């Protein structure tokens, strides 16, 4: 079944085999709405499809009997298909008293449930069975929470961790992006494709380069706002060039990263900071953006190499110097180009006239002349 909860303006969907309710005594008990209350319901309804499309966070509670419900498997498949190309939605698997590897490799209760489904499905429905298997494999590869019934943790503490995780994503601060920037959506999608955020088994560094005042920072901010919720921690280090030129500038930039992950640490020099960052962030999946980099020392002090960070980490560097990216062995790059005449007119319309729609055509000649003057 699915359960919807509203956090501010963010809709959170919970998918599970049996609706559970916390008793307050360190355990879960089934509520009145169970899988049996939907007996005969196997397909995804239009109402559920609409609920999925409105949701921004999906919590998939994988318990021992999850795979025995064809409804749950259909729901899971639909959720994963919906979120596949979307970086602004989050999927959190919760492995409740099940081993993620059993989900991934269809062992234990998951293997038994799939074998039972195979017996019931006719030969024309083997494709559906394969789709369910792929969905279980896919969700098991997403970073999530694992509750083991070993007595080391009370369930109420486990629930609290999940609630805090959701709250951190819902209440995450967004950086300001200039509302006069035009043609941002297409470049943002292209950069997000380069980042390949859905994969947690790799670490990517992407360089965004181009001339001054072409929107490199605004593009990086827009991407940061869009995908930041996918990471354990996210950092936007603005004006790296200016800060690093100050006394103890590199140490200050390193301290910003460390303060958001392990607390305040007084660094004596930036080389010491390298060792601490490597040690503290080694297993963390983070998003790190360095804006306006102009020297390789800045990259060496803050992001070093891929093995400094945990799997799933993404790093974005903005710079005017494409050669600098090559020096640091950053092979994935994106060039921000100057505005063409059409987009320049749109920008001038918004900035000068504070309008979203086009101005009177009689002004076009004057505006085109102004655009060309500004581009000289």
What residues are annotated to the active site? 75
DSSP state of 230: G
Of 286, 236, 226, 228, which Cα lies nearest the Cα of 256? 236
CA distance 62 to 146: 10
DSSP letters spanning 281-320 = HTT--EEEEEEEE--HHHHHHHT--GGGS-TT-EEEEEES
Torsion angles phi and psi, residue 93, rounded to 5: -80, 140
Q: Is 333 exposed, middle or buried (0-12, 13-18, 19+ CB in 10 A)?
A: middle
CA distance 372 to 146: 59
Angle between helices 70-83 and 46-54 (to 10 degrees): 40
Q: How far is CA 110 from CA 15, 143, 322, in A?
A: 16, 19, 50
3-state secondary structure of 164: helix
Identify the sign of the CA torsion 300, 305, 306, 308: negative
């Amino acid at each position: 079944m699915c359960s919807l909860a509203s956090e501010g303006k963010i809709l959170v969907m919970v998918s599970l085999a049996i609706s559970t309710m916390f008793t307050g005594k360190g355990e879960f008990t089934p509520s009145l709405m169970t899988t049996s209350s939907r007996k005969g319901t196997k397909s995804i309804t239009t109402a559920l499809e609409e609920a999925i499309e409105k949701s921004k966070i999906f919590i998939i509670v994988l318990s021992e009997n999850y795979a025995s419900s064809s409804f749950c498997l259909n729901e899971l498949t639909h959720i994963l298909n919906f979120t596949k190309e979307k970086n602004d939605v989050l999927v959190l698997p919760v492995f409740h008293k099940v081993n993620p590897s059993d989900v991934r490799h269809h062992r234990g209760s998951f293997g038994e449930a799939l074998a039972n489904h195979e017996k019931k499905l006719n030969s024309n429905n083997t494709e559906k069975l394969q789709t369910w298997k792929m969905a279980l494999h896919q969700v098991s590869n997403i970073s999530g929470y694992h509750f083991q019934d070993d007595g080391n943790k009370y369930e109420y503490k486990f629930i609290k961790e999940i609630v805090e995780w959701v709250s951190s994503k819902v209440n995450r601060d967004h950086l300001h992006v200039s509302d006069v920037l035009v043609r941002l959506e297409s470049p943002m999608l292209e950069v997000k494709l380069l980042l390949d955020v859905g994969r947690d088994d790799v670490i990517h560094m992407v360089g965004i380069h181009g001339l001054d005042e072409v929107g490199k920072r605004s593009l990086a901010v827009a991407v940061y706002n869009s995908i930041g919720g996918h990471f354990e921690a996210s950092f936007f280090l603005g004006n790296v060039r200016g800060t690093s030129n100050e006394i103890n500038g590199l140490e200050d930039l390193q301290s910003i990263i460390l303060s958001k992950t392990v607390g305040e640490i007084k660094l004596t020099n930036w080389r010491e900071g390298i060792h601490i960052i490597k040690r503290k962030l080694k297993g963390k999946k983070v998003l790190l953006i360095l804006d306006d980099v102009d020297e390789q020392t800045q990259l060496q002090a803050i992001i070093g190499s891929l093995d400094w960070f945990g799997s799933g980490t993404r790093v974005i560097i903005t710079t005017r110097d494409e050669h600098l990216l090559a020096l640091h062995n950053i092979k994935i790059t994106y060039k921000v180009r100057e505005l063409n005449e059409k987009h320049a007119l749109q920008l001038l319309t918004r900035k000068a006239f504070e309008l979203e729609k086009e101005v009177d055509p009689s002004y076009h000649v004057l505006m085109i002349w102004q655009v060309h003057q500004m581009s000289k």
